[in-house]
Amino acid sequence: MRRLGIFCFHEPRGIVDDYVLYLLESLRPFLERLRIVCNGRLSDEGRRRLAAFSGEITERPNEGFDMGAWRAAILDEGDRLASYDELLLFNDSFYGPVYPWREVFDAMAAKPSLDFWGLTVHGRAEDPLKLSPYGFIPEHIQSYFLLIRQRLLQSPDFLTYWRERRTARDFEEAVLRHEAVFTRHFADKGFTYGVYCDTRPRESGCDVPVNHYLLSQRRLLRDFRCPVLKRKALTQPRDYYLDYNYGDEPRQSLAFIAAHTEYDVSLIYRHLLRTRNVSDVKETLGLNYVLPADAAPETPLPEGRAAVVAHLYYADTFEEYSRYLQAIPAAVSLFITTDTAEKKTAVETLMRSLGRPAEVRQADGRGRDLAALLVNCRDVFARYEYVCFCHDKKSLRPGQPLTTGEAFSRLLWENTLAGPAYVGQVLQAFAREPFLGLLVPPAPHHGEYRKLAGDYWTNLCYAETLKLAESLAIDPALVSSQAPPLALGSFFWCRSRALKRLWEREWRSGDFPAEPMPKDGTVSHALERIFPFVAQAEGYYTGWMMTTGFAAQELENWQCLASSVPRQAVLKALVKRYVPHRYWPFLYRLRRLLRPFLPV
């Protein structure tokens, strides 16, 4: 079999991720020759990595998307195409293969009557913008993986088609003019087509076609043994999924791949965490860890691998918070910091009376809790695999009652140190998921705290967070202002490696603002929000942790909040009525962009 492959690659900075190398290596046995067309400039390292698979690498302007890249290579090949038995057009928009390509090629080889085939198909749909020459979007093979056989490849119609295609700059226009039109164009000329994952029988009788690689990805993997997972399936806003399914497809698909295939899911996680905002990853994958506070973990806690660092400042609340510290399992070391010698003595006396061993350290007070953690307890991160941080909190915000701050404090403590069994469950979550780097309590949404997301946009905190990120060599593009911070309150459990670039920096008390600390725009405020971005830079994702009891109340609170904004339902109905559904993901992103500016 003489088979030519044309691979379209696009990455804004020219970085070639490991999942791309795995994909190209897996297809090497099935290709006699490979051409690589890059829409945009490659980095030097990216070019070196791709050169291991082909000596024919072309860089061109990012015009026409993948169809534009394939067109350029096909026209350059010209009549030489007729010397090949098959032509494979594919791109970098998917992860895989999760199953061997041999299954795919053997199955399709058993269908010699097909002139071209792909992996998945999209059914006929309406075309309200009238971009399609047919007046509708015809059924078509989705073009990320398209194989052309000899009868079509040697037909004069094939080269004529590409010569007559002008490059479409608009994404929707490009899809309609090339991906959708390609299948119908050659079918009308008498060429036959098929797909490896034929979902058409499932949609019999349904008048709305489904994009299965976005909305039914788990079934494709499980029932059709689809060898790929589209990247786009892991990047849509949850609002988009909820118009079609329960929103759990992305996480369930990754879990299925990890449990039932030999594909290394770290290739997916590494790419996601390099390119996506950590809040988007958390939302898409539903990284919420609802853990029982009274169920012992399956395995005993290991000695000497976990530690809790607690900062206590308010002497009148020592006893109130000591009950959480007393309940920390004996296998977990405890370090307590405070700011004066008198308080240090008081804490030591209290902990002795409770029978809970703890090492108490005195900080100088400048920088408050975060300075105590990063200056006085920096060594704890180096000594322990898992570290928890917590501190006393009064949260007396101007214009709000005492109960608002107390509720936030309770949210933080209960969902971080609810008891020995809960601590064990948290540590087991880290042990189960190697890419879990940080667990934080959920953000508050009661009282004045509802405005925190908006403040993240408008006040000095975002600019200071961005400045801190750059000083820690964190890609500023990932510190998106489009999403509120995942972490608020400076409470967390972490895998110490996930915060390595933060604690390895030699912090000094002078790095923190002197008292009275400004209300915003300081390094302390930036640190409160930077933890998930640090973990992401080290290759780990962040999740929300909460007890089952808290989650039950949280569910009711969100139900209440959702019912209080019926205007959103009206707006959504208007969008559904007048806007084509393929534009909805873009509108969801726009709404997310504007959300912090809108009234609560």
Residue-wise pLDDT tens digits, 188-211: 999 999 999 999 998 887 878 888
pLDDT at 590 over 80: no
> Is 560 inside a domain boundary?
no
Number of domains in the chain: 3
Last residue of a domain, one of 216, 242, 275: 275
Is the pTM higher than 0.75?
A: yes
- Which two three-digit tokens encode residue 214? 């976005």
| Residue, of 301 and 30, whose pLDDT is higher | 30
pLDDT digits (tens, 9 = 90+) for 46-105: 999 999 999 999 999 988 888 889 999 999 999 999 999 999 999 999 999 999 999 999
> Is 177 inside a domain boundary?
yes
511 and 392, same structural domain?
yes
> Is 441 inside a domain boundary?
yes
Q: Mean pLDDT, to the nearest integer, of 500-522?
A: 90
Axis-axis angle for helices 523-537, 460-471 (nearest 10): 50
| Helix (H), strand (E) at residue 89 | strand 86-91
246 and 98, same structural domain?
yes
337 and 244, same structural domain?
no
- The amino acid occupying position 447 is G
> Which CATH number covers residue 323?
3.90.550
pLDDT at 600 over 70: no
186 and 42, same structural domain?
yes
pLDDT digits (tens, 9 = 90+) for 347-358: 999 999 999 999
DSSP secondary structure letter of residue 330: T
At residue 11, the pLDDT reads: 96
pLDDT at 330 over 60: yes
Mean pLDDT is lowest, of 236-245, 465-474, 564-573, for 564-573
Last residue of a domain, one of 275, 303, 337: 275
307 and 243, same structural domain?
no
- The amino acid occupying position 427 is L
Residue with tokens 């946009």: 457
> Is 235 inside a domain boundary?
yes
At residue 204, the pLDDT reads: 82
The domain in which residue 569 lies consists of 565-597
Q: Mean pLDDT, to the nearest integer, of 298-303?
A: 81
Can you tell me the distance from the alpha carbon of 223 to that of 226, in angstroms, rounded to the nearest whole number?
Answer: 8
Residues in the chain: 600
> Is 281 inside a domain boundary?
no
DSSP for 387-425, written as a single string: EEEEE------TTS-HHHHHHHHHHHHHTT-S-HHHHHH
At residue 64, the pLDDT reads: 81
- Centroid of chain to Cα 254: 12
> Is 282 inside a domain boundary?
no
Percentage, residues of the chain above pLDDT 90? 66
pLDDT digits (tens, 9 = 90+) for 200-247: 998 887 878 888 999 999 999 999 999 999 999 999 888 888 888 888
At residue 482, the pLDDT reads: 67
135 and 98, same structural domain?
yes
- Angle, CA 328 vertex, CA 323 and CA 332 arms, to 5°: 150
Contacts of residue 124, Cβ cutoff 8 Å, sequence gap at least 6: 136, 137, 138, 139, 209
Residue with tokens 């008390």: 509
Calculate the alpha carbon distances from 391 to 150, 192, 366, 371 in Å: 70, 68, 15, 12
402 and 271, same structural domain?
no
8 Å CB contact between 334 and 328: yes
Q: How many CB atoms lie within 10 A of CB 579?
A: 13
332 and 252, same structural domain?
no
pLDDT digits (tens, 9 = 90+) for 413-422: 999 999 999 9
310 and 425, same structural domain?
yes
Q: What is the largest CA-CA distance in the chain?
A: 90
387 and 423, same structural domain?
yes
* pLDDT-based confidence at residue 457 (cuts at 50, 70, 90): very low
Contacts of residue 64, Cβ cutoff 8 Å, sequence gap at least 6: 39, 71, 167, 168, 169, 174
Last residue of a domain, one of 217, 247, 275: 275
Can you tell me the distance from the alpha carbon of 28 to that of 33, in angstroms, rounded to the nearest whole number?
Answer: 9
At residue 587, the pLDDT reads: 64
342 and 249, same structural domain?
no
pLDDT at 479 over 90: no
> Is 88 inside a domain boundary?
yes
Average pLDDT, the chain: 88
Q: Helix (H, G, I), strand (E, B), or coil: what is residue 516? A: coil
At residue 239, the pLDDT reads: 82
324 and 238, same structural domain?
no
- Centroid of chain to Cα 31: 33
pLDDT at 333 over 80: yes
At residue 443, the pLDDT reads: 86
pLDDT digits (tens, 9 = 90+) for 73-89: 999 999 999 999 999 99
> Is 559 inside a domain boundary?
no
